[in-house]
Amino acid sequence: MRVLVTGAGGYLGGAVVPALEAEGHRVRALVRRPADAPAHLRTVEIAPGDVVSGSGLAAAVAGCDAVVHLVGIIREARGATMAGVHVQGVRNALGAAAHAGASRFVHISAVGADTHSPTAYLRTKGDAERCVAAAGLPYTIIRPTVVFGPGGPGRNLVAELGGILRVTPFMPVFGDGRYPMQPVSARNVAAGCARALTLPAAAGRTYEAGGPERLTYDEVLRRIAAAMGRPFRPLHVPLGLIRPLLPALQHLPGFPLTVDQLTMLLDGSVCDPGPFFEAFGLTPDPFDGR
């Protein structure tokens, strides 16, 4: 198939594009600034465009059999809003795909996506899922937990946590650090995206993708530190101390956490990934801290 990948230049795109090529698909990558396209896109066709404004989408999807939609943000910045990126972006991508006669739409969402979520990230992810389901195109939605492993440039939570561990003798941990996480590899998520395109049973389905282990946040940090050859010395910060300060601190340049992100962190990120791995014939990668 000829497949348009939106968000191809980002972190998950760095795993999805090679996975699509490995399955024999021809990839066209939607990139806002083609001159800045990362190295993993050197082997594919580049199409300039922007899902939020819709600019270039019609030309980019013309002649494509399917769309894999990866675009997403975890934090609003420089005019990029959750509603604009997650909801308007997917509406534009769906409209262009339908107009081009695409036969499949694979959408990356997130575990916990819910139109009634108190966090803007999960709420708009839920709104986006409703748009996908109502568009009339054969679709597959994949909801990953925290993603780890090699990918492209862009936000990678494991790498960000490793960056903090690298420069500080004590790792700040909000609360008791026992909130659950179930990291899933970018390789597994990417393979699921690629196989969903041609698996008839995946049409109209939503799959949650998590790793084989449920770990505490402290254990995730401990494994990242071990992979780096660094000691893990947690400094647990009481929630009663950080919560009143976070609404102001989140606006400071470089501050790593927002109110919504803390809410999602404390809620955890776990799921039953069995149907995902069974449907796509995949073996879950263990989390090695990298």
253 pLDDT band (50/70/90 cuts)? confident
Burial class (CB in 10 A: 0-12, 13-18, 19+), 239: middle
pLDDT band at residue 89 using 50, 70 and 90 as cut-offs: very high
Numbers of helices and strands, H then E, in the chain: 11, 13
Say if CB 215 and CB 184 are below 8 A apart.
no
Residue 219 lies in a domain: no
Higher local confidence (pLDDT), 157 or 286: 286
Whether 290 shows a pLDDT value over 80: the answer reads yes
Q: For tokens 């990417």, what's the residue?
A: 190
| CATH number of the domain that residue 30 is part of | 3.40.50.720
Residue 288 counted as domain residue? no
Note whether 8 and 16 are within 8 A (CB). Answer: yes
Q: Which domain holds residue 31?
A: 2-154+183-213+270-280
* Mean predicted confidence (pLDDT) in 220-247: 92
On whether residue 13 sits in a domain, the answer given is yes
- Rounded to an integer, the average pLDDT of 205-225 is 96
Q: Give whole-number Cα distances, 225 to 52, 69, 130, 152, 235, in Å.
A: 37, 32, 39, 22, 14
> Is residue 241 in a domain?
no
Q: Which residues of 21-56 are buried (b: 16+ CB within 10 A; e: fewer)?
A: eeeebebbbbbbeeeebbebbeebebbebbbbebeb
pLDDT at position 264 is 93
Residue 234, pLDDT score? 92
Note whether residue 76 is domain-resident: yes
**Does residue 160 belong to any structural domain of this protein?**
no
pLDDT of residue 251: 86
Tell me, yes or no, whether 19 lies in a domain.
Answer: yes
Residue 244 lies in a domain: no
162-175 mean pLDDT: 89
Domain count, the chain: 1
